[in-house]
Structure 1
Amino acid sequence: MWRLTKNILPTRANLHKKGISLDLQCPLCHHEVETTNHLFLHCDLMKLTLFASHLGSHMPLQVDLFDWILSWLTCHDTLGTQLFCTILWKFWAARNNVVFRGDKLEPVCLVDEAMSFVQEFNDANPPRRGRASLPLITVTPPVSRPSFSVFVDAGCNLNGPTVWGLVLKNHDRITTFSACKCDDIAVDPIMAEALGVRWAIQFVREQGLHSVCIFSDAENVVNCIANKVKIDAIEMVAQDCRELLSSLPNVSVLFVRRDQNIDAHNLASLARLVGNQTWVGAAPNASVMSNYAENSATNCIVFGCFPAFC
C-alpha cells in the first residue's frame, strides 16, 4: 500500500519514465496506458474484481485514486478496510502473474483468496479484550429480540440493470423467504441501496410483519434515512422510508457489516440471471445458482457469488 500511494509501483508507465522501452498498454484490458491510476481505478478487470467482492462496490466517477484509497483507510468498517487493501495487494500480484507467467486473472477466485486471507489473519489475531465494538446505526430504537430480520442489498451498472436481493430470517436465524429483483434502470449505487431499503420496508408492511429489524450494509443510506446526514441525491427516497416507518412502530433499520450481508448480496447477483424471483425457505444454494448460470440464455456473469464458483 505504501508503494501504491507513493506511485512507485513498476507499472509500464512508471518504467517508461525510467527510460525502459516497452509496450505501454495495460496487460490486463489492453485499452489504455498502464498507469497506477488506470490499473487500480479504470481497468475493466479491477472493476469486476471489486464488484465480485463482498464489498460489492462500484468504482467512483471522477475521483482521485489516492483520495479514494484514503477514504477506505479512514472508514469505520474495519473488515471492509482490511478486505479492500488485501484485494489491491492480490490484484497487483495477479497482474504480475499475468505478465510474467501468462496466468489468467479470475476476479471471483481473486476475491475469494483475499477474503480467506483476511479471515485467516483475523482468526490468528483476535481482538484485544476490552476493545469496543462499533455501534449499530439505527433509524428507530432497535427492536428488542426481533421476531424477524430482513437483509437487503443492491447492485448496479452505469447502463443498467439494477438488481436487489432480500432475505427474511426468523428469530432462530433460519431463512424463511428469499427474493431477488431486477429492473432495467440505471442509477447510482447510493440510489440503488436506498431503493433496496425502501423495498424491504414495503415488503415488511405488505406481509404484515411485526417486530422486525431491517439490515443494510449501506451506512450512508441508513444515516440519511435516520436524518443524521443529508444526501440530496436520495432525500426523496429517504423521506418515503421515514413515512413508511412511521406506520411501523416495531420496525428498525440498522447498518450491518458487508460480511454479514452475504446472502442478500448473492441474491442481488443472481437477479442478473433470473430476474424477479421468490423462494419460500432458504436462499438458493451453490448448486442451484450454478444450474441457473449454466442454463441461462444470457451472457451475464454472476459476481460476488458463493466460493464454489471459482
Structure 2
Amino acid sequence: MRAPGVWNREMVEFIFCPSTATQILALPIPLHGGEDVLFWPGSVDGFYTAKLGYDFVSSMTAANTAGSSSSTPPLGNSLWKKLWSRYGLPRCKEFSWRICRSFVPVRSALARRGMAVDLICPLCGIEEETIKHLWLCCPASRSVFFAIPLALRLERFVSLPDFLHQFLAVASADAIAEWQTAAYVLWEARNKLVFEGRPFSCDAVVRRTLQLVQRPSSAQVSRQPGIVLETVWRRPEEGMIKVNVDASFKSATDSGSGLIARDSEGQVLAAAASYPVVASSPVLAEAWALRWAIILALELGFRRVCFETDCLLLFQRWQKPPDGVSYLMSILRECLSFRRFFDVMTLSFVRRSGNSVADLLARRASTYAGLVWVEEVPSEALPFVSADYLAFMPVQV
C-alpha cells in the first residue's frame, strides 16, 4: 500500500492477471488496520445461514447443468426482486421471467422436443433462433433495443446471462420495465410475422413499447399506505449542515462519488467528486462514498452534519449495530468511528429525486475527478441546485 486505505495499484496489476487484480483492488482496506477474518460473501453481514448455503449450491448446480446456449443461470434474490418491479405490466414481467428461465418456445427449443421446424430466425433469416439469439444477437432485436429510450448496445455482451446480471444490477425500476416491455413486444411482433405474415417493423415495435411502458404517477405512489416518501431535498435544521452523497457504480474499477454540502438556508457550502471508486458491488460503492464524504466533511471543518444517501440498504444497515464481519460492515464501523470528531453526525435516507445534485456529480465523477468546489458547484449542476432550493422555499403570503 502507498497510503492508508489505498492499494498499490501498479504493484498489484504487475503481479496478478487483470481479472485477479480487479478483484484484489475492489477489496476495501480499513484506514486504521485490523485483522483478516473469514466471512460468507453471499450475505450483507457476512454470517452464514443454511438458506444462503442452499441458494449457493442450487445456483452452482444450475450453472453446471446448463447445456444449451439459450439457457441462463438463476439470478440472485436481489436481481429477481428488481425483475418483478411493480412498474412493468404483469404480462411483460411474466414474459421476462420466462426469458430468464428459458421457457420461451423459440424454434431451437421446439426442435429439441422433436418438432420438425425451420431453425432459422424469422426476423433476420441468418442464424438459428435461440433465446440468446432473439434477445441479444439478432440484428433486428438489436435495432429495437437501441431505438428505445434506453439505447441498449447489446453487442457489448457475450451472453444473455452476462447482459441480465449487468443490466439488472445497475438499472432503475422504470428502465427494467422498459426492457421487459420491449422484449415482450418483440416476441409479439415475431409471432405476427410467423403466424399472420405481418411484416416486421422496428419503428412499430418501438412505438408499441412506448405505449405499453407504465410509470407510476406521483399520485399513485403517494396513496400507498405505510410509506414515507422523501422525494425532494429538504433543508437541515438551523445550525446543521446537510451533506448529500451518492455513488455511480459501473464496474469494479469504474465508479465515482459525488457530494454537496448545504446549510439551513439552502446555501451551497461545498461540492466534490471522487474518481475512481473501486468497489465490487453498488452497495460497497455507496459505503465507500459515505466514508469519503465523512472524511471530507471533517477536513472542511463541518462539525454538525446530517449525511443523506439514496441507498436504502446502506441506511438500513446504519441503523443497526454493525456486528457483522463483511466488507460492508467493516466500512460502516469505520464510518461510525468518526462520530467522536463531530458534535452531531447523523445519516438519513432520501429518494433519488431528492439527491439529484450528488447523483449528477457521481455520474460525472470521471470528468471532475478529485475536484472540490467551495461555495459553488459546476455549471451543469446549477439547475438541480435551483430546483432543490425552490422545492422547499417558504411560501410568501
For structure 1, which runs of at least 5 residues remain unmatched after alignment? 51-56, 60-79, 104-112, 137-142, 290-310
Label 1:147 to 1:266 Cα distance change in 2 as closer, same or farther (>3 A). same
Q: Secondary structure at the match of 1:166?
A: strand
Q: Which residue of 2 aligns with 1:234?
A: 328
Contact 1:214 1:252 (8 Å CA) reproduced: yes
Q: Which residue of 1 aligns with 2:38?
A: none
Q: Which residue of 1 aligns with 2:70?
A: none
Specify the structure having the higher radius of gyration (Cα). 2
For structure 2, which runs of at least 5 residues remain unmatched after alignment? 1-92, 111-116, 122-126, 143-153, 191-199, 204-209, 231-235, 384-397
Contact 2:277 2:288 (8 Å CA) reproduced: no
Please show how residues 56-95 of structure 1 align to structure 2 within 5 Å.
57-58=169-170, 81=173, 83=174, 85-89=176-180, 92=183
Identity %: 17
User: Which residue, 243, 256, 262 being the options, matches 1:163?
Assistant: 256
Cα distance in structure 1, aligned partners of 2:296 and 2:349: 18
Q: Which residue of 1 aligns with 2:343?
A: 249
Please show how residues 82-161 of structure 1 align to structure 2 within 5 Å.
83=174, 85-89=176-180, 92=183, 100-102=200-202, 118=215, 121-123=216-218, 125=220, 127-128=222-223, 131-134=225-228, 145=238, 147-161=240-254
How far apart are residue 267 of structure 1 and its match? 0.6
Contact 1:13 1:33 (8 Å CA) reproduced: no
Q: Which residue of 2 aligns with 1:41?
A: 165
User: Which residue, 366, 370, 394 being the options, matches 1:272?
Assistant: 366
Cα distance in structure 2, aligned partners of 1:39 and 1:161: 17
User: Which residue, 10, 17, 20 being the options, matches 2:109?
Assistant: 17
Cα distance in structure 1, aligned partners of 2:315 and 2:366: 25
Contact 1:201 1:245 (8 Å CA) reproduced: no
2:370 counterpart letter in structure 1: N
Q: Which residue of 2 aligns with 1:306?
A: none
Q: Secondary structure at the match of 2:95?
A: helix
Cα distance in structure 2, aligned partners of 1:245 and 1:134: 27
Q: Secondary structure at the match of 2:256?
A: strand
Cα distance in structure 1, aligned partners of 2:175 and 2:332: 28
User: Which residue, 270, 288, 291 being the options, matches 1:198?
Assistant: 291
How far apart are residue 244 of structure 1 and its match? 0.3
Please show how residues 263-302 of structure 1 align to structure 2 within 5 Å.
263-286=357-380
Contact 2:256 2:275 (8 Å CA) reproduced: yes
Deviation string, structure 1 residues 175-197 (Cα, Å, up to 9, x no partner): 33211111374543222211111
Label 1:98 to 1:228 Cα distance change in 2 as closer, same or farther (>3 A). farther
Contact 2:272 2:370 (8 Å CA) reproduced: yes
2:282 counterpart letter in structure 1: P
Q: Which residue of 2 aligns with 1:107?
A: none
Deviation string, structure 1 residues 97-139 (Cα, Å, up to 9, x no partner): 9995457xxxxxxxxx89x963xx324536339x333389xxx
Cα distance in structure 2, aligned partners of 1:211 and 1:253: 12
Label 1:20 to 1:227 Cα distance change in 2 as closer, same or farther (>3 A). farther
Label 1:175 to 1:12 Cα distance change in 2 as closer, same or farther (>3 A). farther
Please show how residues 209-220 of structure 1 align to structure 2 within 5 Å.
209-220=302-313
How far apart are residue 276 of structure 1 and its match? 1.7
Contact 2:244 2:309 (8 Å CA) reproduced: yes
Cα distance in structure 2, aligned partners of 1:184 and 1:126: 33
Please show how residues 168-187 of structure 1 align to structure 2 within 5 Å.
168-183=261-276, 185-187=278-280
Cα distance in structure 2, aligned partners of 1:97 and 1:179: 47
How far apart are residue 174 of structure 1 and its match? 3.7
Cα distance in structure 2, aligned partners of 1:241 and 1:169: 21
Contact 2:309 2:350 (8 Å CA) reproduced: yes
How far apart are residue 166 of structure 1 and its match? 0.7
Q: Which residue of 2 aligns with 1:4?
A: 96
Contact 2:95 2:180 (8 Å CA) reproduced: no
How far apart are residue 256 of structure 1 and its match? 2.0
How far apart are residue 275 of structure 1 and its match? 1.8
Q: Secondary structure at the match of 1:274?
A: coil
How far apart are residue 198 of structure 1 and its match? 1.0
Deviation string, structure 1 residues 78-106 (Cα, Å, up to 9, x no partner): xx65x365343355379789995457xxx
Contact 2:245 2:258 (8 Å CA) reproduced: yes
Mean Cα deviation higher: 246-255 or 276-285: 276-285
Once superposed, what is the RMSD of the aligned Cα atoms? 4.2
